[in-house]
Each structure stands twice: as structure tokens, then as C-alpha cells.
Amino acid sequence: MPEISSVARHKVWVAFSDLFLDTDISDYYYDVAYSCAKSGFTIDELKSILMDEVAPICGLNGFQIAGEWAGFEEDWLIDSIESYRRKSKWRKLFRYKFRLSSLILWLKIKPRIIESMSRNRDETVSD
């Protein structure tokens, strides 16, 4: 399978970051699922991106008194995640606590991504 571009990965980061906003995120599920479904990543890759790349950066938002609610600034988000990915595994340990909250988000969004992937396949076949 060919490597998916970093642009596609960045779009998934931005989409998943909406799940960590300090607001009612249920309105974002469809858009997040659609963006993920058309990214070209597998469902397992998407889970890893959410839990291992986006959650460690955006998960802190829920613990702030006045967390981000309008959306994370895209350049900051991409720079922060890329910087985090370069860190050693030992330096990443303290952010491991976000895996549980991101797992809950994953369980909510996964069925929507699968449905959107299926819909995209059906549309491609009918074209």
C-alpha cells in the first residue's frame, strides 16, 4: 500500500482535533467521520492517529478552565503534533493518561467513520 501524504494526515489531525473542543461535539461527528473516511487511512491507522498523535496534544484542552471551544489553530496543531511525534517514548509517558478519554471518543466516532467509508465505496462503485 502506498504511503499516504502528510497533507492527508494533517487533515485527519485537524478533523480529530474537533473532538477535543470544550463544547458539544456531537455536531462535529459527521464532518470528522467524513474527513477521516476520505483520507485513505485504514480504520486501525485512524485509531492510532487519534489516540497516539492527536489526543496527547488536544486532550489537555478538557482540563483547562477556559478550554478551546472555537477550534484549534491549524498551524499550531500541526507543529505541536509533529514536535510530539519526534519526542522519545519516555518523554511521552505523562500524556498516556489521555488514552482512556480518546478511547471513549474512538468508540463514538468509529461506527460513523465505517459508515462513511462504506458510503464512499458505494458512491465510487456507482460512478
Give the per-residue pLDDT at 37. 96
Residue 86 falls inside a structural domain: yes
Residue 126 falls inside a structural domain: no
Secondary-structure breakdown of the chain: helix, strand, coil percentages, each rounded to the nearest 5: 80, 0, 20
Residue 109 falls inside a structural domain: yes
Give the per-residue pLDDT at 84. 87
Task: Provide the number of structural domains found in the chain.
Answer: 1
Give the per-residue pLDDT at 96. 64
Residue 97 falls inside a structural domain: yes
Give the per-residue pLDDT at 34. 95
Residue 76 falls inside a structural domain: yes
Query: Residue 75: which H helix or E strand, with range?
Result: helix 74-86
What SS3 state is found at 39? coil
Give the per-residue pLDDT at 27. 80
Residue 68 falls inside a structural domain: yes
Give the per-residue pLDDT at 1. 42
Give the per-residue pLDDT at 70. 58
Q: Are 14 and 34 in contact (CB under 8 A)?
A: no
What does the pLDDT profile of the chain (127 residues) look like in tens digits?
446 689 999 999 999 999 988 777 788 799 999 999 999 999 999 999 999 899 988 887 655 544 445 578 899 999 999 998 887 676 666 566 677 778 889 999 999 999 999 987 766 555 4
Residue 49 falls inside a structural domain: yes
Residue 124 falls inside a structural domain: no
Residue-number span of the structural domain to which 71 is assigned = 6-119
Give the per-residue pLDDT at 47. 96
